[in-house]
Structures are given as structure tokens and as C-alpha cells.
């Protein structure tokens, strides 16, 4: 996807922050839309169908958490990238954001080069599709037909559930998958497994693929970090 095709919706009630982000993103060639509160954001999102929505947490009328929750409840925004702006080390807000479906968060104060770098990293997730028989992420290749993983060309054979777990996490690099969703999509709602089942499988994947790829989001779930 070309930069000039990407639409980004910025939502913040602070005009100076909004102008700062808009200026830096437009300078890179992105299409940028702005809203001052959650209600306006939802209305505008329905009109322009953005690829990425950047939400501030504290806003009038409808805060960032509730705005994200309402967007995720709409089918058209189920796979839209959503990231929050949070104060540094504001762990509670970050966890609350992940729980309502956020893909990531960006901490304030924002530095231009770091901000653009984070946005580009987020948008790279759009290039990873769940369709097709092969998935390539960096030096990792997942062959869905053969249930095989290759790392730097070296074949790694995984048991079925380990493969399915890795395939799920890697299908959306950087996205946090909640434990409940992982259990449902990998083991199925009708299968009774212990609470530690996911942890055991993640540990085995770390041993075989590499510890750096699998990140734990405490109290929430796991993500694949490319």
C-alpha cells in the first residue's frame, strides 16, 4: 500500500497536539482527518473509513476507551488499526486500551521522528494478510499447507497446536490477542483445557523459534513481535 493511499484519523481535544500530529503525518504524504472528541470521531470514521485511528484517552463527550469500544462493535471497524495516546508509564490506561481492542499505544510527549516511525510500524501490519498459504515476516516463513515454519531457511517442525498458535499470533504482528480469543480460536470453545495451556505452548514456541518473537502482555494475553 502506497503512503498516499493511507487514511489516518487523529482524535484529540488539544488543538496543539492535533496540529502537531497532522503536520508531521501530512509531511510524509498521508491523508489526515481530525476530530476533537469521540462522538465526532465515530461519525467521521464512518464517512472516510480510515486505515488507522489514533485516539487520545481523555476527551469530552466520549473518551478514548469508550470510542474504541464502540468502533470495535461495528463490523466495518473490526480490523481497523487503533492506537492510543497515553502518558508515559500509564500502565492502567494501556491495559484498559488493549482490553477494548486497541492494537498499540504511543506515549506522550511525542517526538516527531519516533512518532512517524511508530506509525509506519503500525501500518506495516496492513501488509500482512491472513489469506494465502504462506506468510512471510522478516526471516520467518509460515507454510500453512505443510504446517511448517522456516526461520532463515531452516525448517522447524511444530506439533499442530503449537503451529496453530503461532500462525494466529503471526497473522497480525504486534496485535495483542487476549487469552480468551486464543483459547477459542486455537482450542475451540468446546475443548476444556487448563489455564496454563497457552503459557506452556508459548514457552515451547520461544524455545524453538526464539524468545524475542513472543511478548507477554501481563493480564491480557500475547502478541507476536516481528
Q: Give dist(CA 173, CA 122) in Å, integer.
A: 9
Helix (H) or strand (E) holding 209: helix 197-209
* Domain over 3-127 is classified CATH 3.30.365.10: no
Q: Give dist(CA 33, CA 48) in Å, integer.
A: 8
Residue with cell 511508530: 118
pLDDT score at 192: 61
**What DSSP letter does each residue of 16-55 carry, written as one string?**
HHHHHHHHHHHHTT-EEEEESSHHHHHHHHHHH--SEEEE
Q: What residue ranges in 43-176 does DSSP mark as E strands?
A: 52-56, 81-87, 104-108, 134-137, 140-143, 148-151, 154-157
pTM (predicted TM-score): 0.64
Q: Give dist(CA 153, CA 139) in Å, integer.
A: 8
pLDDT score at 34: 97
Helix (H) or strand (E) holding 9: strand 7-11
Contact partners, residue 15, CB within 8 Å, separation at least 6: none
Q: Give dist(CA 174, CA 63) in Å, integer.
A: 24
pLDDT in tens, the chain (226 residues): 566 678 999 999 999 999 999 999 999 999 999 999 999 999 999 999 999 999 998 888 899 999 999 999 998 888 789 999 887 566 667 778 888 888 888 888 888 998 998 898 888 777 654 445 778 888 899 988 778 899 988 999 888 889 989 999 998 888 889 888 888 888 875 456 666 889 999 999 999 999 999 999 988 999 998 7
Please report, for the chain, the start and end positions of each structural domain, with discontinuous segments joined by +: 3-127, 134-224
pLDDT score at 206: 95
**What DSSP letter does each residue of 164-207 carry, written as one string?**
HHHHHHHTSTTPPEEHHHHIIIII-TT----TTHHHHHHHHHHH
Helix (H) or strand (E) holding 214: strand 214-217
pLDDT score at 130: 46
User: Looking at the domain 134-224, which fold is it?
Assistant: Arc Repressor Mutant, subunit A (1.10.10)
Residue 83, judged by CB atoms within 10 A of its CB (0-12, 13-18, 19+), counts as: buried
- Is-contact 81 122, C-beta < 8 A? yes
Amino acid at each position: 500500500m502506497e503512503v498516499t493511499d493511507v487514511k489516518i484519523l487523529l482524535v484529540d481535544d488539544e488543538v496543539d497536539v492535533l496540529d502537531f500530529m497532522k503536520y508531521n503525518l501530512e509531511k510524509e504524504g498521508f491523508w489526515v482527518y481530525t476530530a476533537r472528541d469521540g462522538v465526532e470521531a465515530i461519525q467521521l470514521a464512518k464517512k472516510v473509513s480510515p486505515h488507522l485511528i489514533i485516539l487520545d484517552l481523555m476527551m469530552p463527550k466520549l473518551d478514548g476507551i469508550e470510542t474504541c469500544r464502540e468502533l470495535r462493535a461495528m463490523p466495518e471497524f473490526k480490523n481497523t488499526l487503533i492506537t492510543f495516546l497515553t502518558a508515559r508509564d500509564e500502565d492502567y490506561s494501556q491495559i484498559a486500551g488493549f482490553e477494548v481492542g486497541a492494537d498499540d499505544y504511543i506515549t506522550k510527549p511525542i517526538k516527531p521522528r519516533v512518532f512517524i516511525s511508530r506509525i509506519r510500524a503500525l501500518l506495516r501490519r496492513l501488509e500482512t494478510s491472513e489469506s494465502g498459504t504462506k506468510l512471510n515476516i522478516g526471516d520467518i516463513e509460515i507454510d500453512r499447507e505443510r504446517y511448517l515454519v522456516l526461520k532463515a531457511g531452516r525448517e522447524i517442525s511444530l506439533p499442530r497446536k503449537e503451529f496453530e498458535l503461532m500462525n494466529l499470533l503471526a497473522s497480525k504482528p504486534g496485535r495483542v490477542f487476549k487469552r480468551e480469543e486464543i483459547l477459542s480460536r486455537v482450542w475451540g470453545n468446546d475443548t476444556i483445557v487448563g489455564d496454563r495451556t497457552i503459557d506452556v505452548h508459548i514457552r515451547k514456541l520461544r524455545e524453538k523459534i526464539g524468545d524475542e518473537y513472543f511478548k507477554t502482555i501481563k493480564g491480557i494475553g500475547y502478541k507476536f513481535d516481528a
